[in-house]
Structure 1
Amino acid sequence: MKRPSRLQKGDTVYLLNIARKGVYDPDFVTRTFDGWGLKTIIGETISEDSYCQFSANPEVRLRDLQNALDDENVKAVFFMRGGYGTVQILDKIDFSKFSEHPKWLVGFSDITYLHSHINRNFNIETIHGAMLFGFATAGPRDLESMKTLLFDANPTFEFDGLENHKNTNVKGELVGGNLSILHTVIGTPSDIDTNGKILFIEDTYENLMSIERMLYAMKRSGKFDNLKALLVGDFIIPLKDNETSNCMVPEFPEPDEYTIQTAFRLLLLNFFEEYDFPIVFGLPMGHRPDLNVALNLGREVRLDMTADTLRLTYGS
């Protein structure tokens, strides 16, 4: 697996938006990158203009990303937001210069298309983490963890207050991202390889039936057959699913004990009961504005866990 060079003070990073239109706090973002000692290039898709629900039309978004990928002086690319739009340009991107001179790509949600495609086809590490529109509301660990992954060699992160099942210590390459996107790339050139790896998933506003449907598609595609571990980040689930949870989860608790997150955990535990790999619930990564600790995808990691803690150590 190829690893982009660690960032150093004085490096240049590129800011752009290849998906849904949005705004960010330019003063906060500028202070953040200035504080890290980085120079910034503002892409043409970071503007007040928009094209329907997107930051710009597909041609402009493709051009902006291609400029960022081709510029050898750029050491990292930060995306404004997700939503939808990356897949519209994915098959038109020329990754040849990027493959020769890898740089960090930082984002999540719709950017999972890039994480998965690059991991599968080019064996280059990427970073799943907060995007520009969320910098100002990020949690205290979110940006610090991102900076650590970008600048440090072999960091270790510790988490507590988790719910771990079949907990054991494992090693493997970390892959994954947004469950909905991982589901949609099955059978495509961007399909993620999970064989012998550690899979991370998160999602937002998908009900329990949709989540189970996507898990079945991945199961039938063999994604869980030789998995080392499953890391479950934050899932924001619509409350309207209260009406169907007792059908989806027969052992669903009494109404006064009910929460949608309880039903979600029971659903996953029942779904993965036949597998031996450990499952970790409650990792602070996902779509909530203050809950998105960064992950280095494509990197070999060691997981040391107890019933409610996890130490995640990145290998050299």
Structure 2
Amino acid sequence: MSLAISLIAPSSITDDAAVARGIRGLESLGVKVHCPEPLQQPCRYLAGSREWRLAQLHAAYDDPETQAVWAIRGGYGAAQLLDGIDWARLAANPKPLVGYSDVTVLLDHWHRHDLPAIHGPVVKAAGGLLDAHDESEEYGVLRRQLRETLALIDGPATLDYPTIYPTTYPIAAWGEAPDTLTGPLVGGNLTTLASLVGTPVAFRAPQGALVILEDVGEPWYRLERALWQLVQGGALDQAAAVCLGTFEGCPPWGNERLEAILAETLAPLGLPLYHGLPVGHGLHNRPWRYGAIGHIGQGRLAVEA
């Protein structure tokens, strides 16, 4: 039986053509896509009113024929849904929520409620399979990442992906960060997490966590400001380390390294810093299970199945 997924649009509006291409991209991998009609009912820059997006989220979890719920895109708006979610209703038919960027806030709260969550490509990205040439690097990377995401949803044996099941990711220590470290993987988009500081849904890393951070299109001073906000807001007080993914399209400042700036910001907490994870808004966006135990060692981040 083919893997079936339900689509949701929890945040910003997406062009209908991009949605259609994303669906066709997933279908090219053998995925059966359940998409409500209409998927979106535009409200300003949002995919729908808060009530509309909540209704679609609950309906996706009520669907007995799908094995995962996959966000079309990020943007803005996911945090608006949190106080309206019927957690018991979701727990009655638990299945992974997949997405990243603005969806970061949902992933974190799914984990808090013992529901599975996967930080990985959004459905819109699957449209890239239709744009890139079959022999191109872009096509190969995107196809692998999407197949890895499917394997995380349904298991490598079920989908016959044993050779690509994601278990390790490249990572490098910055400065005097220890060579080995272990902890649960949490985090996501830096700006999104910083925006929650001081709210009832604020992000707080669990004890010993390896906090993965990534961002897109933000000048370095804004990245420093966002991380400072997390540090001063207590979000990282119990963390064991920060692990940087990609910072796509983030304009640099002079000859400084972003890692050096962020390490300075983390210094009051004594948190070690790692970098080089292929996670973020660029071409390389490897999926990982939110809350899974990660082991750093020998230049790799190994994740328990």
Question: Which TM-score tier does this pair reach, normalised by the shorter chain?
Answer: 0.7 to 0.9
Q: Compared with structure 1, are the counterparts of its residues 68 and 28 closer, same or farther at alpha carbon in structure 2 (3 Å cutoff)?
A: closer
1:124 paired to 2:115: yes
What CA distance in whole angstroms lies between the structure 1 residues aligned with 2:3 and 2:250? 42
What CA distance in whole angstroms lies between the structure 1 residues aligned with 2:199 and 2:226? 16
Residues 22 and 125, structure 2, Cα contact 8 Å, conserved in 1: no
What CA distance in whole angstroms lies between the structure 2 residues aligned with 1:148 and 1:179? 26
Corresponding residue SS for 2:152? helix
1:292 paired to 2:295: no
- Which residue in the other structure is 1:314 paired with? 304
Corresponding residue SS for 2:67? strand
Q: Compared with structure 1, are the counterparts of its residues 123 and 192 closer, same or farther at alpha carbon in structure 2 (3 Å cutoff)?
A: farther
- Which residue in the other structure is 1:171 paired with? 182
Q: Compared with structure 1, are the counterparts of its residues 68 and 190 closer, same or farther at alpha carbon in structure 2 (3 Å cutoff)?
A: same
Q: Compared with structure 1, are the counterparts of its residues 148 and 135 closer, same or farther at alpha carbon in structure 2 (3 Å cutoff)?
A: same
Q: Compared with structure 1, are the counterparts of its residues 263 and 55 closer, same or farther at alpha carbon in structure 2 (3 Å cutoff)?
A: same
- Which residue in the other structure is 1:65 paired with? 57
The one-letter code of the counterpart of 2:245 is G
Count of aligned positions: 281
Q: Compared with structure 1, are the counterparts of its residues 58 and 225 closer, same or farther at alpha carbon in structure 2 (3 Å cutoff)?
A: closer
Q: Map 1:164-243 to 2 at 5 A.
A: 164-165=174-175, 166-194=177-205, 195-239=207-251
Corresponding residue SS for 1:35? coil
What CA distance in whole angstroms lies between the structure 2 residues aligned with 1:151 and 1:277? 35
What CA distance in whole angstroms lies between the structure 2 residues aligned with 1:60 and 1:279? 40
What CA distance in whole angstroms lies between the structure 2 residues aligned with 1:20 and 1:14? 17
- Which residue in the other structure is 1:82 paired with? 74
TM-score, length basis structure 1: 0.79
Q: CA deviation at 1:136?
A: 2.5
Residues 169 and 278, structure 2, Cα contact 8 Å, conserved in 1: no
Q: Map 1:28-39 to 2 at 5 A.
A: 29-30=23-24, 32-33=26-27, 35-36=29-30, 38-39=31-32
What CA distance in whole angstroms lies between the structure 1 residues aligned with 2:237 and 2:47? 39
Unaligned runs of 5+ in 2: 130-137, 157-164
1:137 paired to 2:148: no
Which among 238, 253, 263 is matched to residue 269 of structure 1?
Answer: 263
Q: CA deviation at 1:110?
A: 0.9
1:152 paired to 2:160: no
What CA distance in whole angstroms lies between the structure 1 residues aligned with 2:268 and 2:118? 31
How far does the alpha carbon of each residue in 1:221-242 deviate from its partner, in whole angstroms, 9 at most, with x for none?
Answer: 3333332221101113543xx6
Q: CA deviation at 1:109?
A: 0.8
How far does the alpha carbon of each residue in 1:261-297 deviate from its partner, in whole angstroms, 9 at most, with x for none?
Answer: x431220122234555542212221112x22111111
Q: CA deviation at 1:34?
A: 5.5
What CA distance in whole angstroms lies between the structure 1 residues aligned with 2:238 and 2:56? 38
How far does the alpha carbon of each residue in 1:62-105 deviate from its partner, in whole angstroms, 9 at most, with x for none?
Answer: 21111112334332011111111222332112121212331110
Worse overlay, 24-33 or 179-188: 24-33
Corresponding residue SS for 1:91? helix
Q: CA deviation at 1:198?
A: 1.0
Residues 82 and 110, structure 1, Cα contact 8 Å, conserved in 2: yes
Q: CA deviation at 1:301?
A: 2.1
The one-letter code of the counterpart of 2:286 is V
The one-letter code of the counterpart of 1:311 is L
Identity over aligned pairs, percent: 26
Worse overlay, 132-141 or 192-201: 132-141
Q: CA deviation at 1:164?
A: 4.0
How far does the alpha carbon of each residue in 1:174-196 deviate from its partner, in whole angstroms, 9 at most, with x for none?
Answer: 11111112112234343333121
- Which residue in the other structure is 2:160 paired with? none
Worse overlay, 279-288 or 104-113: 279-288
How far does the alpha carbon of each residue in 1:198-250 deviate from its partner, in whole angstroms, 9 at most, with x for none?
Answer: 101111122222222222222123333332221101113543xx6xx4xxxxx
- Which residue in the other structure is 1:13 paired with? 5
Q: CA RMSD in A?
A: 2.6
The one-letter code of the counterpart of 1:221 is G
What CA distance in whole angstroms lies between the structure 2 residues aligned with 1:34 and 1:210? 39
1:280 paired to 2:274: yes
